[in-house]
A = this chain, B = another copy of it.
């Protein structure tokens, strides 16, 4: 059935074809598998089968599974342009995290890859660079900027992860309302009214706008506090 089996039956004659295995080829097939079934679904054996090779061949090109996953993450994140050249700090951040979100929507396994496998590539510092520059322009200090970067990053990844792999038990569907919410004292949640299909794009830009509003308010507050302190002296 599989490409691997076909090659096996062809015998040792297929030497030249079997040897054209490269890191790039493996990464490309692996990415398509992750896009289809999520980061958890990928296995060295299944990937080898999809590539048309024995599982152990992969270990000639990658030292282990983590190394392979790192290469996938690097190829995805490395090709993105997080700096859109906008002038205002708000527009810069909206673009930067919009790009990150698009990446996650195109590659549903990415958030999981970045957060949990410890395979974040060096290029993950590209959105960090844009963010820290923009937030400095907004008036935050170093620590505040870094804290806000983690907030924006966490929000964007969580939101995209939820959109691509929704958690049925948390959906406010009729079924969940009657079976998991009704009669448990969740009166506000019970009564809440929602459109029949959730607008993820709108929810995302609402969240980003809210956070950027929060940045402005926080900067204004700390400026005020500093002025008061100066006046007291």
The interface of chain A, by Cβ under 8 A from chain B, is 112, 115-116, 118-120, 122, 124-126, 128-129, 132-133, 136, 142-148, 150-151, 153-155, 157-159, 161-162, 165, 167-170, 172, 180-181, 184-189, 192-195, 203, 206-207, 209-218, 221
- Apart from A125-B181, A150-B158, 13 more pairs, CB < 8 Å: A115-B167, A116-B165, A120-B167, A120-B169, A125-B180, A125-B184, A129-B189, A150-B159, A153-B158, A154-B157, A211-B211, A213-B217, A213-B218
Contacts of A122 in B (CB 8 A): 180-181, 184
Contacts of A112 in B (CB 8 A): 116
Q: Say whether A213 contacts B207, CB under 8 Å.
A: no
A146–B209 alpha-carbon span in the complex (Å): 15
Partner of A147, one of B187, B206, B221: B206
Q: Say whether B142 contacts A192, CB under 8 Å.
A: yes
CB-nearest residue of chain B to A132:
B188
Question: What are 29 A-B residue pairs whose CB atoms fall within 8 Å in the complex?
Answer: A116-B165, A122-B181, A122-B184, A124-B170, A125-B180, A125-B181, A125-B184, A126-B186, A129-B189, A132-B189, A133-B188, A142-B193, A143-B195, A145-B192, A146-B192, A146-B194, A147-B206, A147-B207, A150-B162, A151-B207, A151-B211, A154-B158, A155-B155, A157-B158, A158-B158, A210-B215, A210-B217, A213-B221, A216-B217
Contacts of A192 in B (CB 8 A): 132, 142, 145-146
A110–B77 alpha-carbon span in the complex (Å): 28
Contacts of A215 in B (CB 8 A): 210, 214
Partner of A155, one of B120, B154, B170: B154
Q: Say whether B206 contacts A144, CB under 8 Å.
A: yes
Contacts of A214 in B (CB 8 A): 210-215, 217
Contacts of A133 in B (CB 8 A): 188
A214–B128 alpha-carbon span in the complex (Å): 21
Given the known interface contacts A184-B122, A210-B215, A213-B217, the answer about A159 and B154 at a Cβ–Cβ threshold of 8 Å is yes
Contacts of A153 in B (CB 8 A): 158
